[in-house]
Amino acid sequence: MKYVVFIPDGSSDYPVDELDGMTPLQYANTPNIDKLASKGCGGFTNNVPEGLTPGSDVANMSIFGYDPNDFYTGRGPLEAGSMGIETEPTDVIFRCNTITEKDGIMDDFNAGHITSQEAEVLMDALNEYFNEKYEGFKGKFYPGISYRHVFVYSCDNEEDAKFLSNLKTMPPHDIASQNLDENTSGKIDDSWGKDLALEIKNIMIESQEVLKDHEINQKRISEGKKPANMVWLWGQGVTPKLPNFKETYGLDGAVITGVDLLKGIGVFAGLDVIEVPGATGYFDTDYAAKGKYAIDTLKNHDLLFIHVEAPDEAGHAGDIKEKVNAIEQIDKHIVGPVLDFLEGNEYKAAILPDHPTPLSVGTHTRDDVPIIMYSCNKDGDSVAGFNEVDVCEGSIEKQRGCNLVKRLINDDF
């Protein structure tokens, strides 16, 4: 038996006037996904437990079969895991965005989607500056992909690590056009007034001294691009401990994604992380390569998670055209070829977003998301399509998102 879970990140949305009152999932031309829907069962699920923020970290941990209430420690640690960063129990790992600051405002949370090559130079410059200025500096910047990086702060003891882990930090994509100082202050969390928190805040502020006049940014400005003139630290925590996926579910699993966050979940779960050339985590990702590598992976794995970030990025950007296009590319180059490969074999499949990223909101919401589940051992309910409207007619009972893998294995839907 083969199992495949398609995750079009952030693809769920609200009705859009420019799409004749339809959502992007309704509007997009998705014959392969619709075929899966016609053979399977539809309904809703929610991958974000109450009390946790609707981030991709929390939501995808649920999809992978782990209850975030039990295992989630922060986004930064997951990304560090994918990068092979070794940490100690007293290390607090932050997600580090390169951002564009303008007049004290979050002008762009991704610095115009700076290239990985440019960002690596900036991370090196930050390490050099802080290590030269402060003897025994306790932090280190690690370059990742595009604007997504990691900062590790080594605390003196576990009490300090717990304090920093619990400090309320704001996801930069949630505070677009907002005042940065107000999002690192007592208005957000009284703890920001304590020395350790102020040190983290000062690292962010001081990063501007390194980055604002850096030759990388001067070149970007001359080319009409937004500069990466500051870093923003958030999503922090200590390294999590996830039960081994195969020991838990009895399946050899793998994950395909262009995003370090999901690679990190895979690493900590003991899944094989499949590196796909051209998988960028953005609109320009190589959809066809993901489809090809997915087929190759399914030849020697029982279960595969296939994640695509592009619909989420389009939602953040408020780009209707790119969101619809991303959904259609997923259908054509990933879902279609994978289902053709599985045709005639025993298999089970699911497709669902991790969370909505509505175009009108520009960030993640807590709303339920549509889901289609298919099993070769189970009759479908003939829902018309995979979208927020058609699945209302489906038979799937809404349960916690972390039950997905177990439900798929046991045909419990």
Cα separation, 100 vs 116, whole angstroms: 16
What are the Cα distances from residue 231, in Å, to 83, 126, 164, 187, 207?
Answer: 19, 10, 17, 21, 6
Evaluate if residue 391 carries a pLDDT over 90: yes
Evaluate if residue 412 carries a pLDDT over 90: yes
Q: What is the pLDDT of residues 221-232, one digit of tens each?
A: 999 999 999 999
Same domain, 33 and 93: no
Question: Of all helices (H) and strands (E), which one includes residue 48?
Answer: none
Would strands 303-308 and 139-145 be described as parallel, antiparallel, or unpaired? unpaired
Average pLDDT across the chain, whole number: 96
| Domain end marker among 237, 268, 289 | 237
Assign 280 to helix, strand or coil: coil
Cα separation, 107 vs 177, whole angstroms: 5
In single-letter form, the type of residue at position 105 comes to: I
Same domain, 320 and 174: no
CATH code where residue 59 lies? 3.40.720.10
- Expressed as residue numbers, the domain containing 94 is 81-237
Same domain, 314 and 360: yes
Same domain, 14 and 137: no
- Residue 174: alpha-carbon gap to chain centroid: 14
Q: What is the pLDDT of residues 311-335, one digit of tens each?
A: 999 999 999 999 999 999 999 999 9
Same domain, 215 and 145: yes
Tokens of 168: 């309320």
Same domain, 65 and 85: no
| Domain end marker among 237, 269, 304 | 237
Evaluate if residue 352 carries a pLDDT over 90: yes
End-to-end C-alpha distance for the chain, whole angstroms: 17
Mean pLDDT, range 384-403, rounded to an integer: 96
Same domain, 247 and 204: no
Cα separation, 252 vs 248, whole angstroms: 11
Question: Of all helices (H) and strands (E), which one includes residue 42?
Answer: strand 41-45
Same domain, 205 and 265: no
Question: Of all helices (H) and strands (E), which one includes residue 331?
Answer: none
In single-letter form, the type of residue at position 246 comes to: K
In single-letter form, the type of residue at position 344 comes to: G
Same domain, 46 and 129: no
Q: pTM for the whole thing? A: 0.85
Please enumerate in sequence order all residues whose Cβ is within 8 A of that of 393, keeping only pairs 6 or more positions apart, or say none.
42, 381, 383, 384
Tokens of 130: 């802080």
In single-letter form, the type of residue at position 350 comes to: A
Q: What is the pLDDT of residues 89-108, one digit of tens each?
A: 999 999 999 999 999 999 99
Same domain, 7 and 27: yes
Cα separation, 262 vs 253, whole angstroms: 13
382 — alpha (psi -120 to 50), left (phi > 0) or beta?
Answer: left
Place 382 in a pLDDT band, splitting at 50, 70 and 90. confident
Question: Alpha-carbon dihedral of residues 150, 135, 124, 276, nearest 10 degrees?
Answer: -30
Residue 279 CB neighbour total at 10 angstroms:
22
Say what percent of the chain tops pLDDT 90: 97
Q: Pick from 304, 343, 410, 404: which is nearest to 3 by CA?
A: 304
| Domain end marker among 180, 202, 237 | 237
In single-letter form, the type of residue at position 319 comes to: D
What are the Cα distances from residue 291, in Å, to 29, 271, 365, 380?
Answer: 18, 19, 28, 25
Place 123 in a pLDDT band, splitting at 50, 70 and 90. very high
Tokens of 44: 């809703």
Domain count, the chain: 2
Same domain, 145 and 195: yes
Phi–psi pair at 388, nearest 5 degrees: -70, -15
Same domain, 201 and 315: no
Cα separation, 35 vs 292, whole angstroms: 20
Q: Pick from 33, 112, 85: which is nearest to 282 by CA?
A: 112
Cα separation, 374 vs 396, whole angstroms: 11
Assign 2 to helix, strand or coil: strand
212 — alpha (psi -120 to 50), left (phi > 0) or beta?
Answer: alpha
